[in-house]
Chain A
């Protein structure tokens, strides 16, 4: 079975500081990995995804993530935090393919990012 683990349910950074949100995965097959962001009282929005085309993936709002097979990790980073980055972030792994089509996403438990002045 596939799973993801997000270390740190709450992360606090200063505005302008590096953001690092950790995600480790477990998968018996090459994984497809996603990072989603959820702003308060909203749905989830895709930040970026790894589809095996490139190990360094760039997403929206200046975020990027690097797939490291040897470490089974897909950590999310942003060089300089902004107040507007305060939100909850979810890592997810795709698979297995569902009966009839579609794909099952298994989500981590989320990391709440707080950005302080």
Chain B
């Protein structure tokens, strides 16, 4: 049982390049989330998917798109990377039935945009 996995672990991009961050969970969770972590700012929600087939914007969605490929996988795409998107990106998942549900986090992707 791997939990939440993310690829790649590290990535360096040039401004304007595109890339997709991959996330998969093997816990049969309904809901999945993408966060970014910046120094001194905690984690901020980019996009989420409450269930397979649905996606919605979080608090900082600009410059990103997502795809819920199936129940297991939720990808985050940067179409034209900007230096402001240099961050650590975390994927999380939970059962999605209520406010007490624990979110389980992946190990993160460290992205640098030059």
Measuring CB to CB, which residues of chain A are less than 8 angstroms from any residue of chain B? 9, 32, 34, 36, 41-46, 49, 51, 90, 94-95, 97-105, 107-110
Tell me if B107 and A97 are in contact (CB < 8 A).
no
Contacting B31 at CB < 8 Å: which of A32, A41, A101? A101
Q: List residues of chain B with CB within 8 A of the CB of A32.
A: 99-100
* A8, chain B: closest CB distance, angstroms: 13
Judge if B69 is at the interface, Cβ distance under 8 Å: no
Tell me if A102 and B100 are in contact (CB < 8 A).
no
Q: In the complex, A42→B54 CA distance in Å?
A: 28
Tell me if A98 and B103 are in contact (CB < 8 A).
no
Tell me if A100 and B54 are in contact (CB < 8 A).
yes
3 cross-chain pairs, A with B, having the tightest CB-CB distances, nearest first? A100-B50, A102-B31, A107-B42
Contacting B4 at CB < 8 Å: which of A36, A43, A103, A104? A43
Tell me if B40 and A102 are in contact (CB < 8 A).
no
Tell me if A103 and B90 are in contact (CB < 8 A).
no
C-beta contact mask, B20-50 vs A, less than 8 Å → 1, else 0?
A: 0000000000110100000011111100111
Tell me if B4 and A102 are in contact (CB < 8 A).
no
Tell me if A43 and B31 are in contact (CB < 8 A).
no
* A26, chain B: closest CB distance, angstroms: 15
Tell me if A109 and B99 are in contact (CB < 8 A).
no
Tell me if B108 and A42 are in contact (CB < 8 A).
yes
Judge if B87 is at the interface, Cβ distance under 8 Å: no
Q: List residues of chain B with CB within 8 A of the CB of A43.
A: 4, 90, 105-108
Contacting A107 at CB < 8 Å: which of B43, B96, B101, B104? B43
* A83, chain B: closest CB distance, angstroms: 22
Contacting B99 at CB < 8 Å: which of A44, A45, A95, A107? A95
